Amino acid sequence: MSLQCGIVGLPNVGKSTLFNCLSNAKAQAANFPFCTIEPNVGVITVPDERLSRLAGLVHPQKIVPATVEIVDIAGLVKGASKGEGLGNKFLANIRETDAILHVLRCFDDENVTHVDGTVDPVRDKEIIDYELQLKDLETVESRINKVQKQAQTGGDKQAKIAWEVLLRYKEALEQGKPARTVKFGNKEEEKIAGELFLLTGKPVLYVCNVDEASAVSGNRYVQRIREAVKEEEAGLLIVAAKIESEIAEFDDYEEREIFLRELGLDESGINRLIKSAYQLLNLETFLTAGPQEVRAWTYLKGSKAPQCAGVIHSDFEKGFIRAEVIKYEDYVALGSESACKEAGKMNIEGKEYIVQDGDVMHFRFNV
């Protein structure tokens, strides 16, 4: 499974600059609204030093990291849900993403125009929240009109469940609450809710775009956002996108590390952003290692061995027999699969085994 994140925000908050850092694609970054005319889609590899360590032992033909797909859309403005600016068109482009990266301008710069004249990230957040909620309300009301008659007069059980789910969403959205605040008690309701692809139902990572001086500890703007979102089930990350774009230009790894240390950072904001997105979505990584490839595979935390086998191929899950599991630390310490096997560090696990982050796995199956 590949993680897909959509970037949203007002014009000129640093969305495209951040996208350029995240992706090899170069979205145009300019000082005027609607600079991004078509949605930019880029793919970035997930940083995982374990892959290179394993590759140094196994000497595979190739290394295949996990990837994240980033969708950058035009800056939203007031009325986007009703078609103002280019928003209505582009909201559809992020409907099926897994998470939303909400970029907020938390820096002063008289050379960069703000669409509303002044820097106020809390106000900006509320504008975007309102537009996404309005779009979701439009979706919910449209669906209610379609299922209401079946739910009230017919014997369609699914229509009745869907109608109840939609009414709960409608109530929350009309109160100005995002869809993700609505909780459901059973899998049928959760399935119907998931099929709606509501924008405010997605996990959100607020990305506070700051100036260089605030890259480590943030500033007064970040503190205001932190206070504003403390009741939300959301992540918050501080990134200096302009500096990150400079870091991304370095080809030499050591040069990047020196630059980061001079800024007082342990790792780049891009790496931290991807890791934060994984945490937000409750995702982890298991590994496979062999002469053909060393590879990272993304799975939902808490998944059992057959489900993770299915991440590689559906046949692996259908015909699952067992999983051969070596802990990454043991693999690196002992140097090879055979050495781990001889030392009793390869475990044979069945269908109930809950996969752990960093497990090096080999699946046995029969179809």
Residue 31 has pLDDT above 80, yes or no: no
Using alpha carbons, select from 58, 59, 73 the residue that is nearest to residue 27. Answer: 73
Cβ 296 vs Cβ 46: under 8 Å: yes
pLDDT of amino acid 122: 96
- pLDDT tens digits for range 236-259: 999 998 888 888 777 777 777 888
What count of residues does the chain have?
367
pLDDT of amino acid 77: 54
Cβ 52 vs Cβ 287: under 8 Å: no
Cβ 36 vs Cβ 27: under 8 Å: yes
Upper half-sphere CA count for residue 190 (Cβ side, 13 Å): 5
pLDDT of amino acid 10: 87
Residue 167 confidence class, pLDDT cut points 50, 70, 90: very high
pLDDT of amino acid 330: 97
- Tokens 């925000």 label which residue? 9
Residue 216 has pLDDT above 80, yes or no: yes
Residue 301 has pLDDT above 50, yes or no: yes
Better-scored residue on pLDDT, 329 or 242: 329
Q: What is the pTM of this model?
A: 0.82
Upper half-sphere CA count for residue 275 (Cβ side, 13 Å): 10
Using alpha carbons, select from 205, 208, 199 the residue that is nearest to residue 14. Answer: 208
pLDDT of amino acid 75: 59
Distance, CA of 229 to CA of 215 (rounded, Å): 20
CA 342-296-337 angle, to 5 degrees, is: 10
Better-scored residue on pLDDT, 333 or 48: 333
Residue 115 has pLDDT above 80, yes or no: no
CA 296 remoteness from chain centre: 17
Buried b (16+ CB within 10 A) or exposed e, 265-290: beebbbbbbbebbbebbebbbbbbbe
In one-letter notation, the amino acid at residue 202 is K
Three-class DSSP labels, 246-287: HHHCCCCHHHHHHHHHHHCCCCCHHHHHHHHHHHHCCEEEEE
Using alpha carbons, select from 240, 246, 248, 244 the residue that is nearest to residue 217. Answer: 240
Distance, CA of 15 to CA of 195 (rounded, Å): 28
Distance, CA of 298 to CA of 67 (rounded, Å): 9
- DSSP structure class, residue 354: B
Using alpha carbons, select from 241, 185, 219 the residue that is nearest to residue 23. Answer: 241
The packing angle between helices 241-248 and 269-280, to 10°, is 110
The packing angle between helices 121-153 and 157-174, to 10°, is 150
Percent of the chain with pLDDT over 70: 89
Cβ 286 vs Cβ 297: under 8 Å: yes
> Residue 354, Cβ neighbours under 10 Å: how many?
13
Tokens of 132: 């996404």
Q: What is the DSSP string of 8-57?
A: E-STTSSHHHHHHHH-SS-----SSTT---S-EEEEEEPP-HHHHHHHHH
Residue 128 has pLDDT above 70, yes or no: yes
Distance, CA of 198 to CA of 97 (rounded, Å): 10
